[in-house]
């Protein structure tokens, strides 16, 4: 646990609504719980909107959790209502973003290099501490990022994790304009990655099992839309010479394997989706092709600011399915079943 982080009993006051897990793997319940007060170095934020992320499903599926009951949610937009002791640079009324990264330890090589998202002792929102599927949430002020006032909360919320993650994954490829990028999984993250890739002048192949998602991918500029239920994705990509890089947003070895096989020589496979399973790395192909495999998690603070500016300028638009907090359990089940074409976003009452 980072030094100085959460070394206190949380102070709470008043009731509020939140989406809570009472136990690992249990159902998500909308309950009244205590409204937190900001501790030292923290800000209390009134939440405007919070997006549903696949990581929320992953956390719900775990056999053990760092704390229960637990409020989920980590891609949110809100306004600061109150700041705690020692907070500087932020004031009540400021509009900010909340992400999965609650805090790094502050003293490891990665934190000192400005990369707390790689910190091995990081604390995560909606996992180690209560998240933002709630009317109010307490967050570390030093991790906040400003959000433009003219960017609607429903559009901005999914950018705090899905958009940030997709942007960082595309950046990780370092591809030159005109290169082929294969996106495996054309759901919410995949669609944002396609949009970011097209802004960089990349040629995109989208691979998915759902025709509706592939239709959205084509509208976003994917030149190839491959329905892996109907045709061999590896063969389809080899027709264009193979992918210079492939990003797998799907947490399944059955998807990662063809993503790797789709690479041309010196290609890069970027893994984003989380799953408690492994895939076999073919050693001969890896060596002879000089292929590379790399994980990608969240992104840098500067990248999140860039994502907000891209969205503010209207260069990307997130397809969303808004709902009230009471509709979140159903949205989670539809995401689990693969029936969400875009991002589910909880909007809280009283937000313009």
pLDDT tens readout for residues 243-301: 999 999 987 888 888 999 999 999 999 999 876 677 888 888 888 898 899 988 888 88
Residue located via tokens 């300028």: 313
Comparing C-alpha atoms, which of 204, 198, 239 is closest to residue 223? 204
What average pLDDT score do residues 78-102 get? Answer: 94
pLDDT band at 176 (very low <50, low <70, confident <90, very high): very high
All CATH 3.40.50.720 domain ranges of the chain, comma separated, are 163-295
- What's the CA gap between 185 and 58, in Å, rounded? 16
All CATH 3.90.180.10 domain ranges of the chain, comma separated, are 12-160+299-347
Token output for 341? 């074409």
**Cα dist. 53→60, 285, 304 in Å?**
11, 34, 16
Residues whose CB falls within 8 Å of the CB of residue 111, separated by 6 or more in sequence, listed in order = 104, 105, 119
Q: Tally DSSP H helices, then E strands, for the chain.
A: 11, 18
pLDDT band at 218 (very low <50, low <70, confident <90, very high): very high
- What's the CA gap between 266 and 290, in Å, rounded? 5
How many CA atoms does the CB half-sphere of 334 hold within 13 Å? 16
CATH class, domain 163-295, is alpha beta
- pLDDT greater than 50 at residue 9: no
Which is it for strands 70-71 and 320-323: parallel, antiparallel or unpaired?
Answer: unpaired
The answer to whether 315 touches 13, Cβ cutoff 8 Å, is no
The answer to whether 181 touches 204, Cβ cutoff 8 Å, is yes
Question: Per this entry, what is the length of the chain?
Answer: 352
Predicted TM-score (pTM) of the model is 0.86
SS3 state of residue 195: helix
Task: Give me the CATH topology for the region 12-160+299-347.
Answer: Quinone Oxidoreductase; Chain A, domain 1 (3.90.180)
């Amino acid at each position: 646990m980072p030094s100085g982080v959460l070394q206190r009993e949380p102070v709470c006051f008043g009731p509020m609504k939140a989406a809570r897990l009472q136990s690992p793997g249990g159902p998500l319940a909308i309950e009244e719980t205590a409204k937190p007060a900001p501790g030292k170095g923290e800000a209390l934020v009134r939440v405007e909107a919070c997006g549903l992320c696949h990581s929320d499903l992953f956390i719900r599926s775990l056999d053990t959790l760092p704390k229960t009951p637990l409020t989920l949610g980590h891609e949110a937009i809100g306004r600061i209502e109150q700041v705690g002791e020692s907070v500087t640079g932020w004031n009540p009324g400021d509009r900010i973003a909340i992400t999965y990264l609650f805090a790094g330890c502050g003293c490891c090589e990665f934190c000192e290099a400005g990369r707390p998202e790689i910190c091995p002792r990081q604390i995560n929102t909606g996992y180690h501490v209560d998240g933002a599927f709630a009317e109010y949430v307490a967050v570390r002020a030093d991790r906040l990022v400003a959000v433009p006032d003219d960017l609607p909360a429903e559009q901005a919320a999914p950018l705090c994790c899905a958009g940030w993650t997709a942007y960082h994954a595309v950046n990780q490829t370092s591809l030159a304009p005109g290169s082929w990028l294969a996106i495996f999984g054309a759901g919410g993250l995949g669609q944002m990655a396609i949009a970011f890739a097209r802004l960089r002048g990349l040629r995109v192949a989208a691979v998915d099992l759902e025709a509706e998602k592939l239709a959205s991918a084509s509208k976003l500029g994917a030149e190839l839309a491959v329905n892996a239920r109907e045709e061999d994705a590896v063969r389809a990509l080899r027709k264009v010479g193979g992918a210079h890089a492939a990003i797998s947003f799907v947490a399944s070895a059955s998807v990662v394997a063809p993503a790797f096989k789709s690479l041309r020589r010196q290609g890069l496979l970027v893994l984003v989706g989380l799953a408690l399973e492994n895939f076999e790395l073919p050693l001969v192909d890896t060596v002879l092709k000089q292929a590379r495999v790399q994980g990608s998690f969240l992104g840098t603070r500067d990248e999140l600011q860039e994502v907000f500016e891209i969205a503010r300028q209207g260069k990307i638009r997130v397809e969303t399915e808004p709902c009230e907090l009471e509709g979140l359990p159903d949205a989670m089940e539809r995401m689990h079943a693969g029936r969400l074409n875009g991002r589910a976003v909880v909007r809280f009452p009283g937000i313009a």
